[in-house]
Chains A and B, each alone.
Chain A
Amino acid sequence: MRGRTIAGFVAATLIGIAAMAAEPVRWLNVHVAEHGGEHATVNVRLPLDMIRSIMGAISIDGLEGGVVDLDIDDAEIDWPKLMDAVRQAPDGDFVTVNAEDADVTVSKKGGTIRIHVAEKSEPGDEAETVDVTVPSAVLGSLKFDEGNRLDLEPLFAALASLPDGDLVTVRSTDADVRIWVE
């Protein structure tokens, strides 16, 4: 009787340790809420690990074995140097564009790059805004080759290590889109 109790206690302890040791699953969420037409709402919630493994198996035009071709043929870009420069830059507004169609701001705050695009609309029309949030940790993980091709595997690995938060939000007259990790 005592032996069975001890065995049960040991088994429960081992299960507890295994549960604590298991890494929590990180999810990539996509929410699309269409305003016009059918008023469709789409929610997708997939484990980042699963997306990483699927990306490696996809072979279509522009995406081969988890490497996406950025289609930049005529430019020689030193991506590591560029990413380092952005990561090490102090907080502040890097780029501000005030155009007829839209205002664009690229800024850095608390180690996070923020891209904000605000479309200018006609009076009475709703303007479209796009916000993209890129933590510096993600920038440091990006791997490009000489052919300006981006390896998605390190990108998704970096996304998996991010704290919960939004990556992309789009608000427009047609639809709202939100992409976030948790």
Chain B
Amino acid sequence: MSPKYSRRFRTVGIVLVAALAGIAVAGTIMDWLVVDVRMAGGTGEAHRLWIPVPMAAVRLAASAVSSSALPGEPVPEEIRAALPAIRSALAGLARCPDAELVSVETDEATVRVAKRGRLLVLDVRAPDATVHGSIPIGRLSRTLGRWNGRTVDATLMRSALTVLDDGFEIAVDADDATVRISVR
């Protein structure tokens, strides 16, 4: 191989290694939105859909949604009236120590709402399904604090994406399917 070709191969090799290293580092540092759906088929076979998406790409896509594409749906009066109380509750939750805040137990189901660290955690257990959700309180509080409370629009959608922080998780385990949406 001539010295000219050898130099070119070396350059390509260096670029490839640098690109792979960059992807590996980005994969480690970046938050990923992971959607994991498993469905049990009627005949016994199972299907799985696993979609990992970098949160940076999700935010980029959301920022590309124009306000005209989502002009805004008016918010029901009941929600608008409750918004100040919800904001106050979230601000209070952010300050309060970890605790189980609400628990409801019946013959049919158990519901628990707790504060653990910076997360509000919801657990529902019923005979046919369990639901687990955790949401960062501070992020949710800031998002609702910035929201005008009048319309559900592109601005709210973009702002709501900040709630999808590390720790956000929704998991539903039912008899025929399991759905997990999380940010890691």
Contact = CB atoms under 8 A, between A and B. Distances in A.
Contact of B92 (A41, A43, A47, A60): A47
A59 interface: yes
Interface string A28-59: 00000000001111111111011001101111
Contact of B106 (A39, A45, A53): A39
B91 A53 contact: yes
Contacts of B104: 40-43
B12 interface: no
B92 A38 contact: no
A46 B99 CA distance: 9
A36 B100 CA distance: 25
Contacts of A58: 84-85
Given A41-B104, A41-B105, A49 B88 contact: no
A25 interface: yes
Contacts of A59: 81, 84
Contact of A43 (B84, B89, B91, B103): B103
Given A50-B93, A53-B91, A39 B84 contact: no
Contacts of B97: 25
Interface residues of B, number: 22
A56 B87 CA distance: 11
Nearest to A38: B106
A176 B97 CA distance: 28
A81 to B, nearest CB: 34
B64 interface: no
B65 interface: no
Contacts, number: 60
Most buried by B among A25, A39, A46: A46
A94 B100 CA distance: 40
Contacts of B103: 41-43
Nearest to B92: A50
Interface in B84-115: 84-85, 87-89, 91-93, 95-97, 99-108
A46 B85 CA distance: 14
Nearest to B104: A42
Contacts of A42: 102-105
Contacts of B101: 44-46
B89 A50 contact: yes
A49 B95 CA distance: 10
Contact of B85 (A27, A49, A54): A54
Most buried by B among A27, A38, A54: A54
Contact of A25 (B85, B93, B96, B107): B96
A115 B84 CA distance: 35
Interface in A127-159: none
Contact of B107 (A39, A43, A47, A53): A39
B88 A56 contact: yes
9 closest cross-chain pairs (CB), A and B: A50-B92, A57-B84, A57-B88, A38-B106, A57-B85, A40-B106, A53-B88, A47-B96, A43-B103
17 contacts: A25-B96, A25-B97, A38-B106, A39-B106, A40-B104, A40-B106, A41-B104, A43-B100, A45-B101, A47-B92, A49-B92, A49-B96, A50-B88, A50-B89, A50-B92, A53-B88, A57-B87
Given A54-B89, A57-B85, 8 more contacts: A27-B99, A41-B105, A42-B103, A42-B104, A44-B101, A45-B100, A49-B92, A49-B96
